[in-house]
Amino acid sequence: MKLKSLIGAALVAGTLLSGTAMTSMVSASPEPSGWDDNNDKATGSGSDTTYAFMQRAELYMNQAQGCDTDNATPAAAPAAYTLGDCLTGAAQSSVNVNGNWDHDIFTSTYPNGSSAGVKALINGQVDYARSSRGPKSSGESAANFWGFAKDGLIMVTWGNRPAGNLTTAEIKGIYNCSITDWSQIAGQAAGTIEPVGMNASSGTKATFDSYLGFDANSGACKKSLSNGTYPFENDLKQVINDSVINQNNGITWMSRAEYVAWSYKRQTGAAWTVDSKSATAGTIANNSYPITRFIYHVTKKTDATAAAASAEVTGADGGAGGAVRELTEFMCKPAASHGLNDFTGKTNYVELTSVYSVTGFIRVPASEQTNGICKLVPGP
Amino acid sequence: MRWSRVKFGALTGSLGTVVLLLGMGSASAESSVSVTPDPIPVTAEQSAALVQVSWSGLEPRQLVFVDICKKSISDSSFTVAEDCGAYSGLTPNGSAAGDGSAELEVFRGQDPAGELWGCYAEGDTAPAGVVVYRTCFVRVTHTVVSNLDSDSETPIRFVGSPRVDPGTTATTSAVAPPPQLPSSVSSSGAPAPGGSVDDAEALQFAGSDSGAGVAITG
């Protein structure tokens, strides 16, 4: 970015910058970047699983420090409305480019599923998307998937069915209906297994299908809710309150992050080990737990992409696309590149750490990051 | 040694009577936790140790959170996100009695998530910039990890031959070395699917920095 580059070059060169010179440097928006001195508004949609995380991340991005703003009472004509935009010229004294320079505004819409969100992004109907699955093999080539966290899928039962261990072969057997009674599982009392399906637009289902190698809803033994629909992902209230599903013989899967973060969604669910591995932050981080996944912030490739061998995010220069570019960088960049939150006095990296903790997700281990930031998976 | 967070409230009546409220009526207000062995013996090669964590007094049938923290819950500035290891916890299912136990792998050295702190034995050397804690804490709570109303903790210390910690590369640049456990104890480290572990391990052994850290005890 021009501002960063200018400041960096000045420091490297040891140039003595007067206050006047510095002021003039920041009189224009710091280009090339996603900033344009205007409060652009960007909207995201998609995954249920990542909704709570993104809402919190957006809060810290919206609060992040940046330019000095035009706070003059606006004129009546809308065209003259500049309230909150960056001051320009000599009036601008801020040099803070580690937050949200032109105070762009980010909002996540209510969840509607990963696939629908990504489709809306590609259609140009929203500015970014949330996805709990990676890119599809076709149809999503215009999108970049920025893995900002890891998660695991856990197998869950409820009622009085005690949790135990399932092997991957047993899970596949349960969902392809070749294992139909709990007595076929070590340590379990008899009872007809009722494998519950999941709504088809869910990224959590897509991940589970990939693990199984087939459609989890396709088996003749699979169960849906009493109203004939499949439950939404990661919310056991639906199955626990359902009149058709046997409370002691049902089984489903859900996001480990949602499971540990939200007791209201977890209800009385109990997690099983898979292949004798517990789904912990450590086993998910090092991939020793069998069902792990990344979760994604999705952008248009033209708005945000990774610079070669750099933690910098390149892309759109302004407007909502530019704002998305900066949101992407905010979510992905390392600790040293973050500024302070004005309300807590902590860095936004620390605040994002608290978001990971509250929502149950795990920061992407460094070994799996792209250029020291998120894990970037371009749509093929 | 067990430390419990106990909630105190006081009401002062017109006659100066002070009523002390302990536990605020919650069955889980006085949870407790212990770790075996205590202290934790380690060899010079060990970067982790398996311990048995036992707890009681938690809310029945609620999910249990077991974490390794650098700061005591008695410290008013304690927060889980900042003071506990992001990659080092467990979440066992709760029991009907609110008690239970689990095997926990305790890291010795820099936080496996790459944050700039670690749990060290006396005489251990930390990488430059890593804050050294000779005493860390195993904390348990229930329902949500941020539950500070009924959590409890026990301090943990390592004893044994000193070790130079090569460090966990920061979250933002690389990953922790795989823990080195005693040869008699399995680390249960199954190969990771997807081939990413090979790359990770290659990175894990690359680079070491034996600069001195900053020691904090207590």
Length of chain A: 380
Q: CA A142, A143, A149: angle at the middle one, nearest 5?
A: 170
Please check whether residue A297 touches B, CB under 8 A.
Answer: no
* Phi, psi at B119, each rounded to 5°: -105, 125
Mean pLDDT, to the nearest integer, of A54-78?
A: 92
- Alpha carbon distance A278, A152 (integer Å): 10
Strand partners for B131: B117, B214
The structure tokens listed for A270 are 């109990």
pTM listed for this prediction: 0.84
What residue type is assigned to position A229 of the chain? T
The pLDDT of residue A310 is 79
Q: Which residues does B contribute to its contact with A (CB < 8 Å)?
A: 61-63, 65, 79-82, 86-93, 105, 112-114, 143-146, 169-175, 178, 188-194, 196-197, 199-200, 203-204
What residue type is assigned to position A120 of the chain? A
The pLDDT of residue A96 is 86
* Cβ atoms < 10 Å from Cβ of A293: 25
With H, G, I as helix, E, B as strand and everything else as coil, classify residue A304: strand
* Cβ atoms < 10 Å from Cβ of A327: 29
The count of CB pairs under 8 A between chains A and B is 117
- Alpha carbon distance A375, A366 (integer Å): 9
Q: Which residue has the tokens 């890593």?
A: B130
Mean pLDDT, to the nearest integer, of A306-328?
A: 91
The pLDDT of residue B85 is 97
Q: Complex ipTM, two decimals?
A: 0.87
Q: Determine whether A283 is exposed, middle or buried from the number of CB atoms within 10 Å of its CB (0-12, 13-18, 19+).
A: buried
Q: Is pLDDT at B151 greater than 50 in this prediction?
A: yes
The residue extents of the domains of chain A are: 34-71+93-150+302-378, 152-293
The pLDDT of residue B180 is 64
Q: Which residues of B touch A270 (CB under 8 A)?
A: 93
Of B61, B87, B173, the CB nearest to A285: B87
Q: What is the CA radius of gyration of chain A?
A: 24
Cβ–Cβ gap A335/B172 under 8 Å: yes
Mind listing the pLDDT tens digit for each residue in B171-200? 433 334 455 665 433 333 333 332 222 222
Please check whether residue A290 touches B, CB under 8 A.
Answer: yes
Of A261, A268, A278, the CB nearest to B61: A268
The answer for residues whose C-beta is within 8 angstroms of residue A11's C-beta and 6 or more apart is none
Q: Are B3 and B154 in contact (CB under 8 A)?
A: yes
Mean pLDDT, to the nearest integer, of A140-148?
A: 98
Among A residues 109-168, those touching chain B with beta carbons less than 8 Å apart? 163
Q: Which has the higher per-residue pLDDT, A19 or B106?
A: B106
Q: CA B123, B128, B130: angle at the middle one, nearest 5?
A: 75
Helices (H) and strands (E) in chain A, counts: 12, 14
Mean pLDDT, to the nearest integer, of A296-305?
A: 97
Mind listing the pLDDT tens digit for each residue in A361-379? 999 999 999 988 999 999 9
Cβ–Cβ gap A276/B188 under 8 Å: yes
Q: Which residues of A touch B200 (CB under 8 A)?
A: 286-287, 365, 367-368
| Residue in B with minimal Cα distance to A367 | B174
Mind listing the pLDDT tens digit for each residue in A322-335? 999 999 999 999 99
Over chain B, what HEC string results? CCEECCCEEEEECCCCCEEEEEHHHCCCCCCEEEEECCCEEECCCCCEEEEEEEEECCCCCCCEEEEEECCCCCCCCCCHHHHECCCCCECCCCCCCCCEEEEEEEECEECCCCCCEEECCCCCECCCCCEEECCEEEEEEECCCCCCCCCEEEEECEEECCCECCCCCCCCCCCCCCCCCCCCCCCCCCCCHHHHHHHHHHHHCCCCCCCCCEEECC
Confidence of residue A25 (pLDDT cuts 50, 70, 90): very low
Q: Which residues of A touch B90 (CB under 8 A)?
A: 278, 280
Among A residues 336-375, those touching chain B with beta carbons less than 8 Å apart? 336, 350, 353-354, 356-358, 362-363, 365-369, 372-373
Confidence of residue B169 (pLDDT cuts 50, 70, 90): low
Mean pLDDT, to the nearest integer, of B105-120?
A: 96
Cβ–Cβ gap B114/A353 under 8 Å: no
Q: Which residue has the tokens 């396709």?
A: A218
The pLDDT of residue B29 is 54
Length of chain B: 218
Which segment of A26-35, A94-103, A149-158, B166-175 scores lowest on mean pLDDT?
Answer: B166-175
Chosen from A363, A367, A370 to mutate, greatest number of chain B CBs within 10 A: A367
Pick the closest to residue A212 from A258, A174, A250 (CA basis).
A174
Asked whether the domain spanning A152-293 has the same topology as the one spanning A34-71+93-150+302-378, the reply is: yes
Cβ–Cβ gap B86/A363 under 8 Å: yes
Distance from CA of B197 to the nearest CA of A (A): 7
Q: Which residues of A touch B177 (CB under 8 A)?
A: none
Q: What does each C-alpha distance from A151 to A86, A264, A280, A282, A305 come to in angstroms?
A: 38, 19, 9, 11, 23
Peptide bond into B60 cis (omega under 30): no
Q: Which residues of B touch A362 (CB under 8 A)?
A: 86-87
The answer as to CATH 3.40.190.10 being correct for domain A152-293 is: yes
Q: Which residues of B touch A373 (CB under 8 A)?
A: 172
Pick the closest to residue B85 from B126, B56, B114, B57 (CA basis).
B114
Distance from CA of A144 to the nearest CA of B (A): 20
The pLDDT of residue A175 is 98
Distance from CA of A184 to the nearest CA of B (A): 23
- Alpha carbon distance B180, B177 (integer Å): 8
Mean pLDDT, to the nearest integer, of A127-148?
A: 97
The answer for residues whose C-beta is within 8 angstroms of residue A97's C-beta and 6 or more apart is A1, A3, A4, A7, A30, A33, A66
What is the average pLDDT value for chain A, to the nearest integer?
90
Q: How far apart are the first and last CA of chain A?
A: 28
Over A140-162, what HEC string results? CCCEEEEEEEEEEEEEEECCCCC
The pLDDT of residue A27 is 46
Confidence of residue B10 (pLDDT cuts 50, 70, 90): very low
Indicate the pairing of strand B32-36 with strand B48-56. antiparallel
Q: Which has the higher per-residue pLDDT, B48 or B203?
A: B48
The pLDDT of residue B20 is 34
Q: Which residues of A touch B146 (CB under 8 A)?
A: 357-358
Cβ–Cβ gap A287/B194 under 8 Å: yes
Q: Which residues of B touch A287 (CB under 8 A)?
A: 192-194, 196-197, 200
CATH number for the A34-71+93-150+302-378 domain, one of 3.90.1580.10, 3.40.1080.10, 1.20.1560.10, 3.40.190.10?
Answer: 3.40.190.10
Q: What does each C-alpha distance from B144 to A339, B23, B133 come to in angstroms?
A: 29, 19, 26
The structure tokens listed for A168 are 């991957």
- Alpha carbon distance B114, B120 (integer Å): 15
Q: What does each C-alpha distance from A200 to A15, A114, A168, A264, B103 come to in angstroms?
A: 59, 10, 22, 23, 38
* Cβ atoms < 10 Å from Cβ of B76: 5
